Amino acid sequence: MLLCLQKLHSLSIASLRGVLAYLLCCQLVLASEAIDLFTVTIDVESESQQERVVASRAALKTLLIRVTGDKSALSAYPLLATSVENAQRYIASFSYQTVLIKPVVDTANTLSSAVDDEPAFLLENPSSILLASNTPLNSDSALNNNAVTTQADIPKAQEVLRLNIVFQADAIKELLRQAVAPFWQANRPGVLVWLVEQSGDQRRMINADIAPDVFRALDRGAEARGVPLIQPLLDLEEASLISASDIWDLSVATINLASNRYDNGAVLVGKFSQAYDKSWFGQWMLLYKGERQVEHYRGNALADYFIQGSDMVADRLAADYAVAGNQEQMSKSLTIKFSGIRNPADYLALSEYLRQVPALKTIQLSHVDGEHCYFSLDGSNDVAQLRALIELNKRLVPAGINSRDKFLSNQLHYQWLDRR
């Protein structure tokens, strides 16, 4: 080990920069193991070229929203809108697959009684929201007359043809650069999802094992926005920490306590129920950085409810992590100091991660001083955003400011944690 350390310290700056150049090539493979940013799946009726052209345009629209983190990207950046017409020029490859899809229905059909409570339980402030028809949610047309779903009501599974389109990563990034549009990298915070369904007077917590069709619908909406979901285990240990009623009541303290079991960047809480007329009512709550955001839903498609939840969390995370293309650059270079780099393996792991962060693509090794590595970043963007991007790596934590560092306003300092 001592010999390895001596070799690390004896490496010239030029040699270390050579290692960085090698890692720059390797990082493309590593990054693809995070979120697959550049593949979009679209349902189609046939494998005809005409339909593929139409589907590729829809797929590119989805992709541009995903990689920018902006639902209004096509209207905000005219060049992106123009590019959709020639979507096929950005395609690297495509393939077809046939899948069996089971429609999402209210599957808790073993109830013996209807809901006696008024539907205002879906809302924190029932008076603050009305239906589209201006009918209050506590009307007889809402949830208080839930009907029991019978087997005859459940649609049969259907075969669906899907087109998988892989877009050229470099071409898309160049398009974003030309459009001066933001880019949200593949390394994104995981979002823990607590989901509960009420049918009649019964409530159940949901994950992919309990209700695979329901969770698959949620996952598809999240995939469109590039949001990595974490589902709870819902095992015996979890049952002692949280219940379906805790989630339904949006008990923040209990939800936060149970969420500490998972390594997550945000917590998304959803509850939903189906009325007797087959419409859906729901509510989302996002817990992120001590903030609490709530949105309500009423509509005829449960898929739209899941899309709303995915949009809610993606919009919020993108505000922090999508690197804007039109930010003014700082005139001074920024120095980033990393402490705790004790061996070549630490240095390689750190370098691999830094090269995966788009905002750090111009970072260069400055020098090595014992267990400290100093990198420089010229023309860096918003420092607060850089901090957020760097700290996505759980092995990097802000280090205490010492007497020398505190006078350097253009220096960031992080401690590399040893996971052994």
Same domain, 195 and 302: yes
| Range of weakest confidence among 77-91, 135-149, 175-189 | 135-149
Residue 28: its pLDDT value, please?
Answer: 28
- DSSP result, 383-412: HHHHHHHHTTSTTEEEPPP-TTGGG-TTEE
d(CA 53, CA 241): 50
* More reliable by pLDDT, 362 or 4: 362
Whether 203 and 343 map to the same domain: the answer is: no
Global confidence as pTM: 0.67
Distance CA 259, CA 194 (A): 9
Rounded to whole angstroms, the Cα distance separating 182 from 320 reads 11
Does 221 share its domain with 143? yes
The string of pLDDT tens digits covering residues 95-117 is 999 998 876 654 444 332 333 33
Mean pLDDT, to the nearest integer, of 158-172? 94
- Asked if 313 and 286 touch (Cβ cutoff 8 Å), the reply is yes
Based on the fold, state whether residues 311 and 366 are members of the same structural domain. no
Where in the sequence is the domain holding 370, given as residue range(s)? 2-31+328-416
**What's the rounded Cα separation, in Å, for the pair 216 and 285?**
20
Residues 298 and 348 in one domain: no
Residue 330, pLDDT score: 41
Domain check: are 259 and 397 in the same one? no
* Number of domains the chain contains: 2
Bridge-based pairing state of the strands 372-377 and 364-369: antiparallel
User: Each residue of 351-377: pLDDT tens digit?
Assistant: 888 888 877 777 888 778 788 888 888
Are 148 and 229 found together in one domain?
yes
Least reliable range by pLDDT among 7-16, 46-55, 290-299, 362-371: 7-16
Q: Looking at 321, 343, 378, which one is the last position of a domain?
A: 321
Dist. CA 71–CA 184, nearest whole Å: 13
Give the residue among 249, 252, 316, 232 at the shortest CA–CA distance from 283.
249
Q: In this structure, what CATH number is given to the domain that contains residue 203?
A: 3.90.950
Whether residue 361 is found in the same domain as residue 282 = no
